[in-house]
Amino acid sequence: MKDFVNVGLLGAGTVGGGVLKVLEKNAEKIAKEVGKPVRITKVLDRHVDRLKQEYGDKYIFTDNADEVLEDKDIDIIVELLGREHPAKEFIARAFANGKHVVTANKDVLAKYGAELFPLAHEHNCDFMFEASVCGGIPIIGPMKTSMAANQITSIMGIVNGTTNYMLSKMANEHLDYDEVLKEAQAKGYAESDPTADVGGLDAARKITILASIAFNTRFNLDDVQVEGIESIEACDIKYATDLGYAVKLLAIAKNDPENGVSLRVNPTMIPLSHPLAGVNGVYNAVFVNGDAIGEAMFLGLGAGRLPTASSVCGDIIDIARNMQHKSTGRISCT
Ligand code: NDP
Ligand code: HSE
C-alpha cells in the first residue's frame, strides 16, 4: 500500500488553480477524511513557465500529457482542461491505464458519456463529475444516492452562472449586455468560448447530464430544445420587472407518463414571488420533483474558482476513500 493518494491534474486555470489551493489549504483535514494524504504530483498545462513562477517547485509542471497519463504512480486524473478535445481522449487513456477520473467537463460528458462510462466500468475505475453541473452545488451525488429511490417527475433549474450573473446585473444595476458579459468573463465564470453560455448550450449540456441520471436514459444534446439570452436587452428585463416578473434562463426536464421526457432551455418570465426569481448573481438553483421526496431545491454558487474546486475535491476524496476500501467502480452509470 502506498503512503499517498497521487493525483495528476490536467489544466491549472481557474478551476485547476482552485483545486491546488483547496488541496493544499485543507490537506490535514482531507488526510484525516481519507486515511492518508492526498497530493497533486504532476500538472499538465501549456503555461509551464508562468505556473513555475507562481508555485515554485511544489508540483512538477509539464506540457507533455504523456508524462501525467503514463505515470504509474498516479492514481487519479483530474481533467480541467475544458472543451471536447483532447480532454475526451485523455480521459479515455486514463481509464485504459487503470486511473480513476474526476472531471468538470460537461462538453465531454454530454457528448461522449455513452462511450466513456462503459470504459470506466470495464477498467473498474471511478468516473466522477459533480462539478460539471452547477459548480459548487452538490446535485449529481444526491441524485445518484439520496434520491435514487424516487421516480423523478421534473427538474427545473438555473444551471448557468454566467447568464444568471448577466441577467441579474441587467435587472438590478441596469447594465448593458456586453458590459456584463465582459464582467462574467473577467470573474472566470464564462467558458473559454462564452457563446456556449449565452447561447444556452452550456445549460443544455447540464440538463442532458441531469436528465440522464434522473431518468436512467442516455440523452444527448439533440434531445434538447435550446434558446439562449442573446436577444434579451436591458429594456426587456425592465418591462418584465414592471409586470412583476424576473427573466431567468431555465433548463427544464419533464417526465410525462404519456408523452415521455422533454428537455428544453429557454429564457423564462418567472413571477417575482417564485423562489427561483430570487436566485441572483452567479448563484444557481435546481428544483427537483420526486414521487417520495416531493419538491427539493438545491442552491449555491454555480461557477467560480473555489466553489467549483469544492466539488472537484469532494470527488477526489470520494475516490480516495473508495480506493482505501477497495470499492471503486461501485456506483456505475447504468
Ligand atoms: P481555464 O481555461 O481557466 O483553464 C484551463 C487551463 O488548461 C488553461 O490554462 C488552458 O490553457 C489549459 N489547457 C487547455 N487545453 C490544454 C492542452 N491541450 N494542453 C495543455 N494545457 C491546456 O478553464 P476553467 O478552469 O474555467 O474550466 C475548466 C473546466 O471546468 C471546463 O471544462 C469548464 O467547463 C469547467 N467548469 C468551469 C467552471 C468555472 O467556473 N470556470 C465551473 C464549472 C465547470 P489556455 O488558457 O492557454 O487554453
Ligand atoms: N460557464 C459555466 C457557467 C461554468 O457560467 O455556469 C460553470 O459550469
Which pLDDT tens digit goes with each residue over 31-42?
999 999 999 999
Q: Is 189 a pocket residue for ligand 2 (Cβ < 6 Å)?
A: yes
Q: Answer whether 38's CB lies under 8 Å from 23's CB.
A: yes
Q: Is 161 a pocket residue for ligand 2 (Cβ < 6 Å)?
A: yes
Condensed to tens digits (0 to 9), the pLDDT of residues 231-268 reads 999 999 999 999 999 999 999 999 998 999 999 999 99
- Reported as a pLDDT band with limits 50, 70 and 90, residue 334 is low
106 catalytic, yes or no?
no
CB within 8 Å of 14: residues ≥ 6 apart: 188, 304, 305, 308
The pLDDT of residue 192 is above 90: no
Of 42, 3, 7, nearest in space to 23 by CA: 7
- Reported as a pLDDT band with limits 50, 70 and 90, residue 330 is confident
pLDDT of residue 36: 97
pLDDT (mean) for 289-297 = 97
Sign for the CA dihedral angle at 73, 51, 106, 93 comes to: negative
Taking the centre of ligand 1 as the mean of its atom positions, its distance from the CA of residue 107, in whole angstroms, is: 12
The pLDDT of residue 331 is above 90: no
Condensed to tens digits (0 to 9), the pLDDT of residues 53-107 reads 999 999 999 999 999 999 999 999 999 999 999 999 999 999 999 999 999 999 9
Taking the centre of ligand 1 as the mean of its atom positions, its distance from the CA of residue 293, in whole angstroms, is: 36
Condensed to tens digits (0 to 9), the pLDDT of residues 193-213 reads 899 999 999 999 999 999 999
- Reported as a pLDDT band with limits 50, 70 and 90, residue 111 is very high
Task: Report the percent of the chain where pLDDT is more than 90.
Answer: 96
Residue 57 to residue 320: CA distance in whole angstroms:
24
The pLDDT of residue 1 is above 80: no
Residue whose Cα lies nearest atom 4 of ligand 2: it is: 303
Taking the centre of ligand 1 as the mean of its atom positions, its distance from the CA of residue 269, in whole angstroms, is: 32
Domains detected in the chain: 5-134+306-324 (3.40.50.720), 141-301 (3.30.360.10)
C-alpha cell at 149: 429511490
Catalytic entry in 206, 238, 248, 326: 206
